[in-house]
Amino acid sequence: MKLSDFESLKSRFVQNDPWLASVTSEDWEKAGHVITTVAGKNDNSRMAAAVALRNQGLPCYYEWKGELRFSGVDFVEEYTPELSPEDRAEERRQIKEMEYWNENPNRLKSVADMMKTPEIRWIVQDKVHGTGLFQIYGASYTGKTLLVLDLVMSWCAGLPEWQGYQLNNNGAPQDALYVAAEGGAALSVHVDAWLKYHSDVDPSQLAGLQFLDGGEGDNVFLSIETKRRRDDEPEVDHADSWERLFKEVTDKGLSPTLVVFDTQIDLAPGVDENSNTEMVGILRQVKRLGDTYGFMAIVVHHTGHDGNKARGASGMMGKADAQAKLSSIGEKSGKAKLEWIKVKGRPVPQDTISYEISGIAKLPDLDSEGAVCIPLGKYAAAHAELAVKTPTPEMQRSIIGALAEGPLSIRALSEAVDIDRNTKVFKDALAWMAASGHLTQTKEGRKTMVGLTPFAAAPEAPAID
């Protein structure tokens, strides 16, 4: 008897093929399989583990009523125990543990293995990774949902670029999931506007994009502590669980490469946003989902009271593979920009995306109640930045003088000119002087460093009125 076809043997074993009654443990070993001896505190848990292996097409040794047995064809017929709730819970744990160890025998990698690790896979080249967690945050009315929707729809339609950045979709339509907690008509009109603005995109190209519409009361929650009705129910109610949602996705034959959670706080109502323990725990779960299922998870979040950092716990940045901030350009201009705060595996990008939120008032041919994000060229973006109130000549000279000896952090510069860095007048002065070509801003770790351009290097350099 030749047993070289191990996979065929496994398949017949699962089906209880009568031929296998004559296959001994030695035959399995000749076929290259090392037979496992299952562990467990009682006969029931050991038999449960044996059944789990049998369902995978694998034999084992197991102890039954004091006797060590080999799991042959008819052994399952002996397994008809009446279990207490405690034993049943232990049975499930044993099965899950055995399945895990069979699927993950050893996770360790050698140096040689690490050298074979593939290059980083990107959705947005050098900006947004292929898997993990991307947090994008901004103040109200900066177009957070519009910009993320633009990314998702561009990606799913197979477009080559998003806001001027390269998309690595090989020009082919992609699958994605958008969890729109606030959802409803407010989101639908923007989907409509995007399709009308991108009139060259056939709606069939977006067949792989699915929405969970919170406007209709549909939700997905993580880490919600609720009383379970039955012993085998998860902590989150089935109706709102991630497991149910992802089953709905896979039942449609989809394999999303992007999943958006808009907004972040709607993933876990009642969680303390200022608690590193709670918020980092939530983001850790989201990141694990992305890494496990092979998608990039995008969470949409808000800025804090100072309008500069993400609202809530400081530890959130550490969990993100990429993080970006949206901020308005000027006041009530409808213009905004995206700046990169972190991209794991790359230096922090210094380039930005500037865009204008445009609806039918600015695009008469749009014929939609929604709006889209229209990229602004460098000149238009600079012009919008200059719309910020011009700082006084005295303030300009004061800032230039403070930077005469070299770049300073924003905190150090504000102290040098004796103006609170969180005030609007100070922020506007920096924005105006950067847009007018007097200042440059660079990142050094978490600090933003401000320096002079060459022509403004001396304290007596003339300021622009």
Give the architecture (CATH level 2) of 122-377: 3-Layer(aba) Sandwich (3.40)
Q: Please report, to the nearest 10 degrees, the dihedral formed by the alpha carbons of residues 292, 293, 295, 298 taken in order.
A: -70
Question: What distance in Å separates the CA atoms of residue 74 and residue 36, rounded to the nearest whole number?
Answer: 18
Taking each helix axis as running N to C, give the angle between helix 410-417 and helix 424-435, from 0 to 180 degrees, rounded to the nearest 10: 110
Query: Each residue of 210-247: pLDDT tens digit?
Result: 999 998 888 888 865 443 344 544 466 777 888 889 89
Inter-residue contact 203 to 286 (CB < 8 Å): no
Section 137-159 average pLDDT: 96
**Residue closest to 368 by CA, chosen among 196, 154, 174, 129:** 196
Structure tokens, 21: 């009654």
**Residue 254 is which amino acid?**
L
Structure confidence at residue 9 (pLDDT): 66
Residue 338 sits at φ, ψ, to 5 deg, of: -115, 125
Structure confidence at residue 97 (pLDDT): 78
Section 81-93 average pLDDT: 69
Is the per-residue pLDDT at 459 higher than 50? Answer: no
* CB burial readout 359-383, b (16+ within 10 A) else e: beeebeebebebbbbbebeeebbbe
Biggest CA–CA distance in the chain, Å, is 97
Is the per-residue pLDDT at 348 higher than 70? Answer: yes
Going from N- to C-terminal start, the domains of the chain cover 6-103, 122-377, 388-456
CATH 1.10.10.10 describes domain 388-456: yes
Query: Each residue of 352-407: pLDDT tens digit?
Result: 899 999 998 889 899 999 999 999 887 677 777 777 677 888 899 999 999 988 99
| Whole-structure pTM value | 0.65
Structure tokens, 293: 């299922």
Inter-residue contact 38 to 61 (CB < 8 Å): yes
